[in-house]
Amino acid sequence: MEKNNLESRRSFLQKTTAATALLTVPSIIPAHAFGANDRVNAAVLGVNGRGKSHIEGLMEQKNVEITTFVDPDLVVGNERAGEFEKKYGKKVKVVQDMRKAFDDKDLDVVTVATPNHWHTLATIWACQAGKDVYVEKPGSHNIWEGRKMVEAAHKYNRVVQHGVQLRSSTAIREAVQLLRDGYIGKVYMARGLVFRKRGDIGNKPNEPVPEGLDYNLWTGPAHMRPFTRNIVHYNWHWHWEYGNGDVGNQGIHETDLCMWGLDVGLPNKITAMGGKFLFDDCKETPEVLTSVYHYPAEKKIIQFEVRPWYTNAEDGSSVGNIFYGDKGYMVIKGYDTYDTYLGDKKEPGKSGKAGGDHFKNFIDAVRARDPKMVNAPVESAHLSSALAHLGNIAYRTGRVLEFDPIKEKFVNDPEADKYLSRQYRAPFIVPDKV
């Protein structure tokens, strides 16, 4: 039975996660819809946080023109447009509703830096409108909608890049190849680390919607609730309606690398424990979260730690990954550095430090009209996000969960299945048929 399960899992992984194992990018870019010097017109969706990095990343690319900023808060949008004009000497349109940007026939690509609850729907709408997409992590707010994102990208043959920039790091790609080659032996465990300082955010009262903000658009697929500074603009991360806690924030970089390094998809068993121990504030998501993901057929396991405050690093890594083999272990630090330690004496082995240009990889794939060229394909966006969601679901149900990674449902567990999707608010509905 175990052999049959393993063969079934391998077949499944070959179909759904083959892209996550790609370690090389073609050096020759074929000419299709775009010529080598054709301009790519871009819109940035959400310009308050990560969107600022999107602006910088796109403007570093050759012959890429940002034409549009999209933000439901016009105060933020106009402020960013003013900064853009001052820095680059160019004007951009500012619109509140992303659908207006999608209607622009001259727009080629969109980058999505909205709150998490918008990521999948924005990606699907963009694919349906014929745009290529760079979507921030996590690719999805829940597991079901992540699968819909994959279906949309394939149906409309769009290039979709997930915003986990370590996938384009030369050093990290080298590190994963070392794991594949058995440099630290048989790799059986990955550990994800997210030790980020997350302070007390208080508990602010409800208040009138501030001028310039279209709160209906900001809320989008989520349930409508009274406006409060508890959620707008950044602290939505710590509320289930909009965010996924730090395992679904910073942690997606690490869940992605755990799966990539171990060469696995979604697990069969999940458990998690944690809570709020420091602050009596309005956060709903846990400050501390320990989650475990078990792959019994492959004899592999993932451990994941989220900590919010002063803490020790682990072999120098506070945000990163550790891989364990029977000949040694590997430490990933941040997005561009790895070290290895071999044998009983933990002798230093191979190491590397080198970054990469994730936006260039995306634009190259767009010009080539080749979704297979992206280093962080849509399948990996779904799976790495889903792993984080599974940890959160195990925490919220408070027990060990059994999961079917092929059906992407829990085993005889209607209570846990309720967390696989959500009730969407019309007209901001992720469609069953994309």
**Residue 432 forms part of a structural domain:** no
Quick one: which H or E segment has residue 143?
Answer: helix 143-155
Residue 138, preceding bond cis, omega within 30 degrees?
yes
Helix, strand, or coil (residue 190):
strand
Helix, strand, or coil (residue 199):
coil
What DSSP letter does each residue of 33-84 carry, written as one string?
Answer: SS-TT--EEEEEE--SSHHHHHHHHHHTSTTEEEEEEE-SBHHHHHHHHHHH
Q: Are residues 344 and 393 in the same domain?
A: yes
DSSP state of 189: E
Q: Are residues 187 and 89 in the same domain?
A: no
Closest CA to 170 of 372, 24, 316, 29: 24
What is the pTM for the complete model shown?
0.92
Q: Are residues 175 and 73 in the same domain?
A: no
Query: Considering Cα of 127, then 429, then 390, then 402, what sign does the dihedral take?
Result: negative
**Residue 119 forms part of a structural domain:** yes
DSSP β-ladder status, 300-307 and 187-195: parallel
**Residue 426 forms part of a structural domain:** no
* pLDDT, position 1: 39
Query: Which CATH number covers residue 103?
Result: 3.40.50.720
d(CA 131, CA 156): 9
Quick one: which H or E segment has residue 272?
Answer: strand 269-275
Q: Are residues 98 and 241 in the same domain?
A: no
Contact 310, 287 (CB under 8 A): no
Q: Which amino acid is at 25?
A: V
Query: Which CATH number covers residue 396?
Result: 3.30.360.10
Range of the domain at 63: 17-167+357-374
**Residue 216 forms part of a structural domain:** no
Contact 228, 204 (CB under 8 A): yes
Tokens 């942690």 correspond to 251
**Residue 1 forms part of a structural domain:** no
d(CA 93, CA 64): 16
What DSSP letter does each residue of 297-316 carry, written as one string?
Answer: TTTEEEEEEEE-SS---BTT
Q: Are residues 177 and 91 in the same domain?
A: no
**Residue 381 forms part of a structural domain:** no
Structure tokens at 302: 């993932």
pLDDT tens, per residue, the chain with 434 residues: 343 444 444 444 443 443 334 333 323 333 345 555 589 999 999 999 999 999 999 999 999 999 999 999 999 999 999 999 999 999 999 999 999 999 999 999 999 999 999 999 999 999 999 999 999 999 999 999 999 999 999 999 999 999 999 999 999 999 999 999 999 999 999 999 999 999 999 999 999 999 999 999 999 999 999 999 999 999 999 999 999 999 999 999 999 999 999 999 999 999 999 999 999 999 999 999 999 999 999 999 999 999 999 999 999 999 999 999 999 999 999 999 999 999 999 999 999 999 999 999 999 999 999 999 999 999 999 999 999 999 999 999 999 999 999 999 999 999 999 999 999 999 999 999 99
Q: Are residues 261 and 393 in the same domain?
A: yes
Contact partners, residue 34, CB within 8 Å, separation at least 6:
40, 366, 367, 368, 369
Q: Are residues 109 and 144 in the same domain?
A: yes
Residue 377, preceding bond cis, omega within 30 degrees?
no
* pLDDT, position 34: 58
How many DSSP H helices and E strands does the chain contain? Answer: 12, 16
Structure tokens at 328: 């040694």
What are the distances in angstroms from CA 286 to CA 16, 143, 290, 350, 422? 31, 19, 10, 36, 20
**Residue 419 forms part of a structural domain:** no
Q: Are residues 63 and 106 in the same domain?
A: yes
* pLDDT, position 33: 54
**Residue 278 forms part of a structural domain:** yes
Q: Are residues 25 and 162 in the same domain?
A: yes
Quick one: which H or E segment has residue 133?
Answer: strand 132-135
Query: Considering Cα of 156, then 157, then 159, then 163, what sign does the dihedral take?
Result: positive
Residue 233, preceding bond cis, omega within 30 degrees?
yes
Contact 374, 159 (CB under 8 A): yes
What domain count does the chain have? 2
Q: Are residues 288 and 160 in the same domain?
A: no
